[in-house]
Amino acid sequence: MSSERPERHERPRLKPLGQPVVVTVRTDEHGAPTHVRLPGKTARRVETVRERWRIDDEWWREAVSREYLAVVLDDGRVLTLYHDLSEGLWYAQKD
Amino acid sequence: MSKASPRAHGVPTHRGRGWVHSSHEPSAPTTWTPTTPDSSWVSGPGAAAAFLPAAPRATTGSRQALCLWLPTFELRLELVRSPELDSTSVALLAPGESTRRTIWQVSERAYDAGVRPGQLVSQAVSLCTSLTLLEPDPAHYDAAVDTMLEVLGDITPILEPAGHGRVFLGMDGLGRLFGSPHRQVDRVLRSLFRVFPAPLVAATRAGWAPGKFGAWVAAASAQPGEPVLLFEQNLIRFLARCPVSTLPVDPLVVERLERLDIRTLGALARFPEPSLVAQFGEDGRNALAWSTGRRIDPVRPWHRPRPIRVSLEFAMPVGLTETLHGALDRLVERALSRPARRGRSVTGVRLGAHLEGGGSWFVETVLREPTSVRERIAAPLRAKMAIAPPPKAVVTLLLELTHFGAPSAQTGLFDRKDESGREAGGHELAQGDVPPSLRDAVKELKLRLGDSPLYRVVEIDPWSRIPERRHALLSFDP
């Protein structure tokens, strides 16, 4: 019997941090988020939008165009969301 | 066995009538009288604690108990040091008080003059103008107790001190070594001659019975030099005639029982448990269990971790609070840096002093949470010192770490750089500098998992406007 250890899957040497997560967002008629549902969680009402900023970058390769919002949920949590303007999806991201 | 006089050493040991007793058939106590001027012998220091329900443990402990009791232990020790005061009016001041000082223990002459424990000094002096007041010396008393326990430890390993002057010994299984119960008690009392002068040993009362309560009641009813032995078959009959004041319960409960004309344990035992519980709660239940002999508290082996002691002797006696605070800080630092403390947090600490002109002073505190931070240990001691400062200038300041948290072999991964782990402060790790503890942890994880599951946070583009571009995790394998 061979005493060699079985080959293990080689782990990636570099792991990204702060990757965005797709979330479901309900918006009002002006496009402002009213409800947010994180994956596997129940939907929470957005109490207020604290801050809003926009990023347009890397136009020289794959253009990044995002509208960021720092929102306060009804349970008091502060969440950073962004709306990807090129693909139309909403994401939550640790800033 | 020594047949010394009950009044040996000039200290009241038995006031008047007392109990008639014999070794095997203890006859009925005719009258119960307090055996010391301080009638609160049941509620003395640590008295109730001795009867607290022990934590659930395996069958450790000894059912057969021997109680040794030396009333006014501290005053007797003082009189041994100052024999010239033996036949005078002497009172020992209560420790831990700074402003309204009260009397703690009194000699027989002082008692006859009307001086009582708990009285203010001014009252006591006005009642007895020739009264000699003695400052308490807790360090001396503690040392005497320690010496006594050391000697008794040669006879039985199961020892349980219960306040000054009282100790319980577990006697299970000693018959084969020392013979009959009489011989066992005799052996114990004789061993005390090794550490105490004869008058002190002669004044010691001994009670031998199943359980601590029975042993305590037997000792309290005994006369000096004439131990009382109670056996299973006699226990309930003996207890039935004991006064309710023997119960180690809240004094208010005893007071209410007496008002209800329930004066003996026998009278108490006639009541149904639900009625007593309804009136007195848990105390009622316990009182009934003791009265009927149903509750037998075994003597539990007493464990006191070896304390870490440090001291600082001043060139000149110091009375300045700021100087004492500074010295306290230095002492805490020194105590914490002792190798014996390594890996353990501190939960109990004691600060003491030898005072100018004799005497000692102590304050003690239990910390809210285990800690090894200097300030968290020193702050409560400073507060205690402010409430009860040393009554005289301090010659030597002493610090004892008395109780410790659970020992832990775990070391912090990032805060201990050197192998010895003596440095408690955190270290700023230089670039590429890996602490040995972290290197060892990675090695162990690799052995178990095949490769290192640890990662290091690295900067990719820290100023990027896109958050996920700024940092990443890089696998860590030093």
B473 with A11: Cβ contact below 8 A: no
Of B455, B466, B472, the CB nearest to A55: B466
Collect all residues of chain A within an 8 Å Cβ-Cβ radius of residue B470: 17-18
Where residue B43 falls among pLDDT bands split at 50, 70, 90? very low
| Tens-place pLDDT, residues B380-397 | 999 988 888 888 889 999
pLDDT at A35: 95
Report the share of chain B in percent with pLDDT over 70. 80
Instruction: Give the mean pLDDT of chain A.
Output: 85
B395 φ, ψ (degrees, to nearest 5): -95, -45
| CATH class in words for B308-404 | alpha beta
Terminal Cα-to-Cα distance of chain B (whole angstroms):
74
B467 touches chain A (CB under 8 A): yes
| B457: enclosing H helix or E strand | strand B455-459
Where residue A59 falls among pLDDT bands split at 50, 70, 90? confident
Where residue B26 falls among pLDDT bands split at 50, 70, 90? very low
Report the share of chain A in percent with pLDDT over 90. 56
Distance from the B477 Cα atom to the nearest Cα atom in chain A, whole angstroms: 10
A18 with B475: Cβ contact below 8 A: no
Collect all residues of chain A within an 8 Å Cβ-Cβ radius of residue B471: 17-18
**Would you say residue B186 has pLDDT above 70?**
yes
Where residue A1 falls among pLDDT bands split at 50, 70, 90? very low
pLDDT at A24: 94
Which residues from A are below 8 Å from B when comparing CB atoms? Answer: 5, 8, 10-20, 55, 57-58, 64, 93-95
Name the burial class of residue B268, with classes exposed (0-12), middle (13-18) and buried (19+) by CB atoms within 10 angstroms of its CB: buried
Where residue B289 falls among pLDDT bands split at 50, 70, 90? very high
pLDDT at B150: 86
**Mean per-residue pLDDT for B317-321?**
87
pLDDT at B265: 92
pLDDT at B98: 63
Instruction: Give the mean pLDDT of chain B.
Output: 79
ipTM greater than cut 0.90: no
Domain ranges across chain B = 8-75+139-291, 308-404, 412-478
Nearest to B90 by CA among B71, B74, B68: B74
pLDDT at A90: 95
Report the share of chain B in percent with pLDDT over 90. 16
CA closest to B459 among chain A residues: A17
Where residue B65 falls among pLDDT bands split at 50, 70, 90? very high
What's the angle, vertex CA B458, arms to CA B452 and CA B464, rounded to 5? Answer: 145
Contact B166, B47 (CB under 8 A): yes
Q: Which of A59-73, B180-194, B357-371 has the lowest mean pLDDT?
A: B357-371
**Mean per-residue pLDDT for B201-227?**
90
DSSP, collapsed to helix, strand or coil, labels residue A67 as strand
B462 touches chain A (CB under 8 A): no
pLDDT at B118: 87
pLDDT at B67: 93
CA closest to A21 among chain B residues: B468
**Would you say residue B4 has pLDDT above 80?**
no
What's the angle, vertex CA B442, arms to CA B440 and CA B446, rounded to 5? Answer: 120
Residue among B452, B475, B477 with most chain A CBs within 10 A, to mutate: B475
Residue among A10, A11, A56 with most chain B CBs within 10 A, to mutate: A11
CA closest to B450 among chain A residues: A8
| Tens-place pLDDT, residues B99-115 | 678 898 988 888 888 89
User: What's the count of helices (H) and strands (E) in chain B, helices before strands?
Assistant: 16, 14
Domain B8-75+139-291 and domain B308-404, same fold? Reply is: no
Where residue B424 falls among pLDDT bands split at 50, 70, 90? very low
Cα-Cα-Cα-Cα dihedral sign, residues B372, B378, B383, B384: positive
Q: Which of B95-104, B141-150, B382-391, B465-474 has the lowest mean pLDDT?
A: B95-104
* CATH ID of B8-75+139-291, from 3.40.50.10580, 2.60.40.1180, 3.40.50.720, 3.30.70.270: 3.30.70.270
Most confident of A79-88, B157-166, B423-432: A79-88
Q: What is the DSSP string of B390-452?
A: -SS-EEEEEEEEEEEPPP-----SSS--SSS----S--PPPTT---HHHHHHHHHHHHHHSS-
Where residue B368 falls among pLDDT bands split at 50, 70, 90? confident
**Would you say residue B56 has pLDDT above 70?**
no
Structure tokens belonging to residue A68: 């960021």
**Would you say residue B228 has pLDDT above 60?**
yes
**Would you say residue B164 has pLDDT above 60?**
yes
